[in-house]
Amino acid sequence: MSVKDEVQKIKGSGSANVESIAHEFNGVAGDLLAQAVADIKSGKIQIRDTTDLEKVYRIYKDVNNITDGMSDEAGTGALPELNAGQEHAIEQRVKVNTETTTSSNGDVVQKKTIKLSDLADLSKEDVGKMINDKEKAANNENAKDIV
């Protein structure tokens, strides 16, 4: 069965559960990746350069949810939340937009985003102050460990 067929099958199930779709899609991608690895070993598929290799590795990472250690300490794959001081240091220098969406189960989800065009408009001085203020807020949060 091709990827297209698999995707059609998933879409046809009528499920609006994004996590479920992602899980099924990863299953399909995982099967195809296993086949691709076998084909690479047998020489049927040739890895010609680092770009080809990177593409295969990226699929592997996505399927396995590998975050290269950049995620939170619990290993959930999400970046750790910023404390109020760190958020304030960023919001003071660059416009932070709030997008509100409704999830498949009816929950209202708010997501904060920064446009890269707004980020690009910052002066060197603004960036320096943002880095310094954010670092100070993180440092003071860490200082709460000291008793």
Binding positions for another protein, rule: CB under 8 A: 68-70, 73-75, 79-82, 86-87, 90-91, 94, 96-97, 111-117, 119-132, 134-135, 138-143, 145-147
Decide whether 27 or 128 has the Cβ nearer to another protein.
Answer: 128
> What length is written for the chain?
147
39 vs 62 by CB, closer to another protein:
62
Residue 76 beta carbon to another protein: minimum distance, rounded to whole angstroms: 11
CA-atom Rg of the chain in angstroms: 21
CB burial class (10 A; 0-12, 13-18, 19+) of residue 99?
Answer: exposed
| Residue 125 in tokens | 């001085």
Minimum Å gap between C-beta 13 and another protein is: 29
Q: How far is the CB of 143 from another protein (least distance, A)?
A: 5
Q: State which residue, 24 or 133, has the beta carbon closest to another protein.
A: 133
Q: Please say whether the beta carbons of 25 and 5 come within 8 A.
A: no
CB 112 within 8 A of CB 96: yes
Residues 129, 134: Cα–Cα separation, whole Å: 8
- Please state the separation of Cα 58 from the chain's center in Å: 13
CB of 15 to another protein, least distance (A): 27
CB nearer to another protein: pick between 104 and 139: 139
